[in-house]
Structure 1
Amino acid sequence: MRTEGQLRESIQRFQESFWNRKSADRPPVGVYDERMFLPINFLRRPYLRPTVSPDDVTGELVMTEYEYSFANRAVSCDDYTAFSAAWRGVPWLEACCGCAVGYAEGSLAPRHFVESPEDLANVPIPAANGWFDRLRCETGRLEAQAPPDCWISPSILRGPSDVLAAMRGLSWFLLDLYDNPLALLRAAARIGQLLIETVEMHYSIVEPKLGGFGHIFGYWAPGSTVVIQEDAMGMCSPDMYRDIFMQSNAELVHRLGKYVLFHLHTTGYKHYKHVLDIPGIAGLEIGMESIGPTILDLVPVFREILEKSRLILHVGTGFELLPQVLRKLPTEGLFLGIPDKYVRNDQEFHEFTKAMWKS
């Protein structure tokens, strides 16, 4: 468990260097357990049925992130915010829009059920299937049980394009982008409204801790915060994002305030320029992938983002290139996430930060 003094030091670093974009000795740097990105690992026992129902998702079935990882973290002097969230194995927004939640060894996945883009207009959103209420109950349970150094974060809440890809099936969704974009545009507005209501529900339950909130991407924010995900758009022309989904994202930013960020993968990031054009967007979160451009290739993109906004960079690959990369980037508005396979203890953390940002 981290002490209150350690927490306040990290919070001050987030406030000044990341949110206020002021010059500092170093930016916030967090060390994270990569196993947390596979929430199927949180199961306390094998799950034996092919479909997951809302009543299944309880503390008796799954551990929290804090139980699984943060309670025994090897690095305690970094800035990664400890969190728990309603089980991230569940595709929550897809389920709330009517998708059945299928279970297979190693993952949970939403099942498509809408037969045509025209049928989207008749789908009740949210569905009367109990998933929204389960999310509310799980959020309340976690908030009541949170340890002193743990924040309760919104769970994974994917954006309208990802939800529509789940409802229609990915192949049909990609065809719909060309065959009936208007149906998708209208459905995206309805899903976007549900996303807003879901985030507002979360913050009606979760209270600020030490003046702010934590998120599953490891950062702290002084106000209610969420990260938009539109991963399906990584496979499409950036103009598709701009013309069909950007407006629903802009409405979310307008409604939820100035601490809304946007999640991207390096395998599909080209719509980032349009994202930066969303009025009030707080910044971008980018996860490095083992395929696609290298972290060094993306330095011009990172610089462009940091000149205009903020960047959370999760270095899942390319750690050996970080010295070259960081020499070319400003620290203002940057938060760096490093897997614990590269930084294994407090001593290695101090050695890493000293080497990267020599005074």
Structure 2
Amino acid sequence: MVQAVGQRPAISERLHMHRLYWQRKEQPYPLAAFRVAKDFFFSRHFQAARHLLVLGKRIEAETLRVEEFLGDYERMFQDTEKIGQDGFWTAEPFTGIPWMEAILGCEIQASDESFISKPWLKDLAQAEQLRLDRGNPWLQKYLEFTDALVAFSKGRFPVGMPIMRGPSDMVGALMGQAEMVYALEDEPARMKALFLKVTEIFLQVQELQRSRIPPFFGGWALGFYHVWCPGPAIWYQDDLSALLSPELFRSFLVPTSRKICEGYAYTAVHLHPASFFLLDEILANEKLTAVEVNKDVGGPSVEEMLPELGKILARKNLILWGDLTIQDLEVIRKKLPLRRLFFHVIAPSVEEAGELLRFIRNWRT
């Protein structure tokens, strides 16, 4: 039996707190999930991947042996069990791989710390060949991870999606970031078609994965953020939206974000502060239920983000992600309402995570 650092609530209580969160009702204290890690280079946290992190090494789907990763997943799950958190640790296909880029045909290479993709789309006419091939080796590997994790879980934890990129990130990966921006002005009609095509492929991949994942206590989880949802859930990111004006965002990314959210009851978008200038446009998506905000290395601070965090909480649920400190939490406790709040905290050790959790559970004192 694992001894929890924090007093572990019963499953029924944790589920109830997640329902309060999604119903936007006042919470006894904010929900929190933890990832025990000393940095944000998550590829390095998998022992099974360390031998692959060789600068310039080409990575193929068959390079990844799923069974070698299971010990890492067990270690990570047990860390969160020791913490006694309220969030539900979620297993995802190895999050170090840029899965959508690989599925879309990009070559994957290793660096010393992560895995990157190389663009191949030199002419927009080549985009006509983009489609989801069920025999795609990267798709098959993604689903192999999913099936293995479902079996490995034995009902102990949910399985969800890792970082999968969004339309702008996929297109930027396919053709290069600068090339994408120029093409938005030079060939808008073809670019709109490309954005919609990669969105369709993204949704097809997610539906294939979801069809293999059984419900977890009647719901599903937002992978990577470890938020339990009472119904089907999806999240996406558009980091390269930071390169677009609000007008270009409305024209190219509002349609794709709405399309992603259409078929799911619980939806979230990942957001860096660099895209805060688009926040009003993002919040206008009535199908979007949550916004995840990164506390980025190098700032802005949590206190500096308070106006945007408050604006999000007025209309959507908030997931705040990063190496949050007691000082950060104290600022939030004093300045933001106690509803719609979820923290995903990166902590260097189980013990430090436990200290943060104790502070969170004493939110009202």
Task: Quote how far apart the aligned CAs of 1:261 are.
Answer: 0.7
8 Å CA contact 1:343–1:349 kept in 2: the answer is: no
Whole-angstrom distance in 1 between the partners of 2:81 and 2:204? 37
Task: Quote how far apart the aligned CAs of 1:324 are.
Answer: 2.4
Task: Quote how far apart the aligned CAs of 1:52 are.
Answer: 1.4
Query: In the alignment, does 2:54 pair up with 1:46?
Result: no
Aligned-residue identity in percent: 21
Q: Where does residue 180 of structure 1 map in the other structure?
A: 187
Whole-angstrom distance in 1 between the partners of 2:72 and 2:200? 28
Whole-angstrom distance in 1 between the partners of 2:255 and 2:73? 35
Amino acid at match of 2:236: I
SS of 1:284's equivalent in the other structure is: strand
8 Å CA contact 2:83–2:350 kept in 1: the answer is: no
Query: In the alignment, does 2:13 pair up with 1:9?
Result: yes
Q: Where does residue 359 of structure 2 map in the other structure?
A: 352
8 Å CA contact 1:287–1:313 kept in 2: the answer is: yes
Amino acid at match of 1:46: H
Query: In the alignment, does 2:129 pair up with 1:123?
Result: yes
Whole-angstrom distance in 1 between the partners of 2:117 and 2:322? 28
Q: Where does residue 249 of structure 2 map in the other structure?
A: 241
Per-residue CA deviation, residues 215-244 of structure 1 (Å, 9 max, x unaligned), is 211211111212111111123323322210
1:92-107 to 2 correspondences below 5 Å: 92-107=99-114
Q: Which moved more, 1:20-29 or 1:347-356?
A: 347-356
Task: Quote how far apart the aligned CAs of 1:315 are.
Answer: 3.7
Query: In the alignment, does 2:92 pair up with 1:85?
Result: yes
Task: Quote how far apart the aligned CAs of 1:129 are.
Answer: 3.8
Whole-angstrom distance in 1 between the partners of 2:34 and 2:160? 18
8 Å CA contact 1:74–1:344 kept in 2: the answer is: no
Query: In the alignment, does 2:28 pair up with 1:25?
Result: yes
Whole-angstrom distance in 1 between the partners of 2:83 and 2:361? 16
SS of 1:210's equivalent in the other structure is: coil
Per-residue CA deviation, residues 20-52 of structure 1 (Å, 9 max, x unaligned), is 111122121223223575124314251268211
1:308 aligned to 304, 315, 338, which one?
Answer: 315
Q: Where does residue 225 of structure 2 map in the other structure?
A: 217
The alpha-carbon distance between structure 1 residues 182 and 254, as it changes in their structure 2 partners (threshold 3 A), is same
TM-score normalised by structure 1 residue count: 0.90
The alpha-carbon distance between structure 1 residues 56 and 73, as it changes in their structure 2 partners (threshold 3 A), is same
| Count of residue pairs the alignment pairs up | 355
Task: Quote how far apart the aligned CAs of 1:171 are.
Answer: 2.2
Gaps of 5+ in 2: none
The alpha-carbon distance between structure 1 residues 221 and 37, as it changes in their structure 2 partners (threshold 3 A), is farther
2:329 aligned to 319, 322, 333, which one?
Answer: 322
Q: Which moved more, 1:220-229 or 1:288-297?
A: 288-297
Task: Quote how far apart the aligned CAs of 1:62 are.
Answer: 3.2
Q: Where does residue 191 of structure 1 map in the other structure?
A: 198
8 Å CA contact 1:238–1:274 kept in 2: the answer is: yes
Task: Quote how far apart the aligned CAs of 1:64 are.
Answer: 6.4
Per-residue CA deviation, residues 177-208 of structure 1 (Å, 9 max, x unaligned), is 32223222110111111111111111110001
Whole-angstrom distance in 2 between the partners of 1:316 and 1:236? 28
Task: Quote how far apart the aligned CAs of 1:126 are.
Answer: 2.4
The alpha-carbon distance between structure 1 residues 235 and 356, as it changes in their structure 2 partners (threshold 3 A), is farther
Whole-angstrom distance in 2 between the partners of 1:20 and 1:258? 12
Amino acid at match of 1:57: L
Q: Which moved more, 1:272-281 or 1:52-61?
A: 52-61
Amino acid at match of 1:59: V
Q: Which moved more, 1:94-103 or 1:143-152?
A: 143-152
8 Å CA contact 2:326–2:359 kept in 1: the answer is: no
Amino acid at match of 2:127: A
| CA RMSD, 1 decimal | 2.5
Gaps of 5+ in 1: none
8 Å CA contact 1:58–1:138 kept in 2: the answer is: no
Task: Quote how far apart the aligned CAs of 1:112 are.
Answer: 0.4
1:76 aligned to 83, 91, 115, which one?
Answer: 83
Amino acid at match of 1:119: A
Question: Which one scores higher on RCO, CA 8 angstroms, separation ≥ 6?
Answer: 2
8 Å CA contact 1:52–1:103 kept in 2: the answer is: yes
Task: Quote how far apart the aligned CAs of 1:169 are.
Answer: 1.4
